[in-house]
Each structure stands twice: as C-alpha cells, then as structure tokens.
C-alpha cells in the first residue's frame, strides 16, 4: 500500500551508512505488545548473509515489517504473536529481524506487502510472492515444501480476529448513491456498524478458500511472466498485486471484484499476471468541469488520450489502485465507496480512469491506503481524497473527499513533499528535511509520542539525520535516514 515520489532519487541512493526507524504496532516484535509511540532504531541482524547496511524500507503488512539490506536480502520481523494474524508471511522471526528465506542467489531491490501477502522484485527483474494463496499466481515454488506445510497447518488452526479488514464495509454495484460516513460519529460507522456482517462474510470467505486446500502459501513463488518481461517495481493491496515493468507496462493479478485490476470487469480472481491497459484512449473522470488540455476531448462519448507514453508509478490500496504516467497524469480504478478513486463520486471504476481534476498538475508520486489515496505533485504539494474517518486525509476534518483536495495545513507551508506512503488508515510524507504523519494513531503509528488521532499533518520529532524515504505498514511506519555528516 505504499507509493513514492522521486523514484530516481531512491534508485541513486548509495548504500552508505543508513538507519531504519520504526514506530507503531508490531505484535510479535514488542514486549507485552505495547505500541512504539516514538521513533526507535531497528538494528540489522548480526548474521553473515544479512548484509552490513540498510538499503531501503518496504513497510509491511498485518503485524510484520520489511526492509532491504545492502546485499539485497529482504529483512523481516514481527510475526510470532499468539493470534497468528501475520501468518507465516514474514518468516516467523519474531522481534529479531532476519533475512526472509528466499533463494540465496536472489538479490531484492524492492518489496511490498498487502494484508497477508508479500511480493518482491529482484535485481534481474523477477518477481517472488507468498502469503494468501489467492494472491499467489501460478509459477515456480521455491523452498522446502515439508517446512511450508507444517507452517501452514500451524497458522491455519489459529483464530485471526483481524481478518474482518479484508471485507468491504459495504457491497454495491457499479453505481452507488451513498457517500462515506461523516460527522462527529463518522469513525464508528465505517468500522463498527457493519462488524457483524463483515465477520460473517469473512468467515464464509475463509471457509470457501480453504475447502480442500490450505489458504496460505508459505513458500515463495517465482511468478511466471511473459518472456522478456522485466519488472521494476511492485505494489500490494488487500488481495491484489500490481507490477510495473521496465518499459512502463502494468501487470496485475489476484482479486478484482471491485475493478482494482483495471480489466474492465468485476472479475473476481485472476490467477496469472495480465497486462492492464492504461496508456490508451481512456474515459475522462467524472469532474468534466475541470480544465482539459485544448483539443483533448471530443464530443460526449468520445475517448480521451491520457497524457503520457508509459506508466512510471503504481500503488495499491485495500481494493483500489492508482498509477501515474510519465507525463504526470494520475489514473485510478477499483472500489470507490469512499471516493478513493478521486472521480467526484462513490462509483467503482472498472478500468483505469484519468483523475481529470488534476490534469495540468504534474503528479510525481501516489500512495493508497485501505480507503484513501494521497498523491504529491512536482511542486511538492500534497493532494488527498477518499475515506477520512480517522483524519487520514489530513484536511482538518473527518469528511470524506471524492475529489482531490490540496492540503493547505500550516505545517506544510514552505515544505516540498518528496515521498508519500499510506498505511491502512494513516499517511506520511517526507519533505526536504522533515517527516509528517497524520490519521489513525491508536497504535502509535504516527510516531508523535501518544495515541491521539491527527487530522492534519504533524511533524515527527527526529533530529541528527537526513531523511531519505518513508514506508507505512498497516499499523506501523518505517523511516530510512542517514546520519548528518
């Protein structure tokens, strides 16, 4: 669920001495499961094959965190709580960071995690994935199957109360008339009023997926892609995955019932990577009053040529997706109940659709949360839309936004946002010298020293280092920084 701006900056970062800081909730990584309310440094494991230095942070999923070492090892931690909510997805290392058991010859350059699945891309452009089996496409399985089977059995027998997050709070057709919950009690509406329905639906889904087969794939799977396809970056949503090739083509697989795979239909399951048509004649967003480039749109019913020649950035939310073209156009698709597609409505978008209200603004990075989307422009401005029950949009209210809204918080005045990331219900940006967080803070995931939600961007106190990038997990946040020289 992470997205970043200034990708070139990240790729050019040298593996000099860097520090990883973490705050928030990692059940298996914390004594007495107490949240980390302020930044705490994470140490690399003292093992020969783990590497000597940190290279990048990757956020994480439910109850586990991920980062990458200078030797290309995926380092994971925080999975051994007694409820099993993080499954075997992070390698069952507990509070000690350890390399995830990928093949020794594999060197990881980027990774992402959904609720209970992970995906990573190697220096060779190959993709490995593991976790929920419905998120794992057909491909070559690597590792010891006997070990995996015992892990799967152990985890499957545990009760997981957090599975309710996987089910939409409200199911609907391609058109919906209701908006997101708002007002002083809006926080409770999206989470609690449909809890029983979600628990029941999730139980049925788990039982259905496990009939005759275990629902988890503990062993990494080498994803089977078309010959010659090299993947540059990956993104993971609730139950779907996007992969971006080195020539700017988007591939997707997993669950697509709300259109989050962008294939023009409500196909529920895509078991192998499919190309997603993005740069083509596309529909214009719902906000037709927005100023469009001269000659870009013909009469009603005609298509609109999306600015750009290829896709340069991708992001996955809970059940929606977003991509950015090389020309800075933002496109969204998938679940729209809270306005998280930014089209001025609560409709689902089954195909990639240009966010027309942002045309003319060059978007450089995008990130997606469970029900919201944040993007940053080339000018360093921050735009937000979607669900806002916990202040995750940073607008100063809890009102949902169906169109992108420019954040004009005093804390961001004269700040230039460079990197953006979203957790389930919180957001973070790194500017030239600061990191800001806002949204849900029950587990200290904002790093502000308390558990009070914030509805405006708030600076995290961290001195003596140069901030490089931030990556939000579902209930935690990771920051990569270098010491001042």
pLDDT of 132 reads: 84
pLDDT tens-digit readout, 90-134: 555 567 888 988 999 999 999 999 988 999 999 999 999 998 888
Taking 90 as the threshold, does the pLDDT of residue 279 lie above it? no
DSSP character at residue 402: E
Of 163, 237, 292, nearest in space to 3 by CA = 237
Taking 90 as the threshold, does the pLDDT of residue 412 lie above it? yes
pLDDT of 273 reads: 96
pLDDT of 37 reads: 93
Least confidently predicted of 3-17, 145-159, 441-455: 145-159
CA-CA distance, 58 to 135, in Å (whole number)? 18
CA-CA distance, 349 to 332, in Å (whole number)? 7
Least confidently predicted of 45-54, 152-161, 211-220, 444-453: 152-161
**What is the percent of the chain with per-residue pLDDT over 90, rounded to a whole number?**
58
Mean pLDDT of the chain: 79
pLDDT band at 383 (very low <50, low <70, confident <90, very high): very high
CATH code given to domain 7-167+200-286+304-483 = 2.130.10.30
Residue 420 and residue 375 in contact, taking contact as beta carbons nearer than 8 Å = yes
Structure tokens at 405: 């809204």
Structure tokens at 478: 């990771």
Least confidently predicted of 69-83, 216-230, 302-316, 353-367: 69-83
Taking 80 as the threshold, does the pLDDT of residue 160 lie above it? no
Taking 70 as the threshold, does the pLDDT of residue 174 lie above it? no
CA-CA distance, 366 to 247, in Å (whole number)? 19
In this predicted model, which residue has the larger pLDDT, 478 or 171?
478
Kindly state the average pLDDT of the residues 419-441: 97
Question: Is-above-0.85 flag for pTM?
Answer: no
Kindly state the average pLDDT of the residues 36-40: 93
In this predicted model, which residue has the larger pLDDT, 209 or 305?
305
pLDDT tens-digit readout, 66-95: 999 999 999 998 865 444 444 445 555 567
**What is the percent of the chain with per-residue pLDDT over 70, rounded to a whole number?**
71
CA-CA distance, 311 to 369, in Å (whole number)? 20
CA-CA distance, 359 to 320, in Å (whole number)? 20
CA-CA distance, 234 to 313, in Å (whole number)? 9
CA-CA distance, 116 to 320, in Å (whole number)? 16
């Amino acid at each position: 669920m992470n997205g970043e701006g200034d990708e070139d900056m990240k790729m050019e970062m040298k593996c000099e001495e860097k520090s990883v800081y973490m705050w928030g909730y990692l059940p298996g990584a914390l004594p007495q499961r107490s949240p980390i309310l302020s930044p705490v440094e994470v140490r690399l494991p003292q093992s020969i094959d783990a590497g000597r230095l940190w290279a990048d942070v990757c956020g994480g999923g439910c109850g586990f965190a991920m980062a990458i070492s200078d030797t290309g090892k995926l380092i994971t931690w925080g999975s051994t709580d007694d409820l099993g909510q993080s499954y075997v997805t992070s390698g069952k290392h507990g509070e000690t960071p350890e390399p995830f058991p990928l093949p020794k010859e594999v060197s990881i350059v980027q990774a992402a995690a959904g609720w209970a699945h992970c995906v990573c891309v190697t220096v060779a452009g190959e993709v490995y994935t593991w976790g929920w089996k419905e998120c794992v496409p057909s491909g070559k399985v690597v590792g010891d199957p006997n070990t995996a089977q015992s892990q799967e059995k152990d985890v499957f027998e545990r009760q997981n109360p957090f599975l309710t997050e996987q089910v939409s709070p409200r199911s609907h057709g391609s058109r919906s008339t209701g908006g997101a919950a708002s007002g002083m009690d809006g926080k409770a509406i999206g989470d609690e009023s449909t809890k029983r329905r979600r628990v029941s639906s999730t139980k049925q889904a788990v039982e259905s997926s496990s009939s005759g087969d275990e629902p988890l794939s503990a062993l990494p799977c080498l994803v089977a892609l078309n010959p010659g396809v090299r993947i540059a970056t990956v993104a993971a949503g609730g139950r779907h995955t996007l992969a971006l090739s080195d020539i700017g083509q988007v591939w997707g697989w997993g669950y697509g019932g709300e259109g989050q795979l962008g294939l023009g239909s409500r196909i529920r399951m895509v078991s192998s990577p499919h190309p997603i048509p993005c740069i083509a004649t596309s529909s214009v967003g719902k906000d037709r009053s927005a100023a469009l480039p001269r000659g870009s749109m013909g009469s009603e019913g005609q298509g609109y040529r999306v600015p750009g020649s290829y896709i340069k950035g991708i992001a996955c939310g809970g059940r929606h997706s977003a991509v950015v073209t090389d020309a800075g156009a933002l496109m969204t698709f998938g679940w729209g109940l809270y306005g998280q597609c930014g089209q001025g409505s609560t409709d689902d978008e089954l195909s990639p659709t240009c966010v027309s209200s942002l045309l003319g603004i060059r978007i450089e990075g995008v990130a997606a949360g469970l029900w919201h989307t944040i993007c940053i422009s080339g000018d360093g401005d921050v735009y937000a839309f979607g669900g806002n029950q916990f202040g995750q949009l940073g607008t100063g209210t809890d009102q949902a936004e169906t169109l992108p809204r420019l954040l004009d918080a005093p804390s961001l005045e004269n700040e230039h946002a460079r990197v953006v990331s979203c957790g389930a219900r919180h957001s973070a940006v790194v500017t030239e010298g600061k990191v800001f967080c806002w949204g849900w803070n029950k587990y200290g995931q904002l790093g502000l020293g308390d558990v009070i939600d914030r509805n405006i961007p708030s600076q995290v106190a961290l001195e003596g280092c140069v901030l490089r990038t931030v990556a939000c997990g579902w209930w935690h946040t990771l920051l990569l920084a270098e010491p001042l020289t």
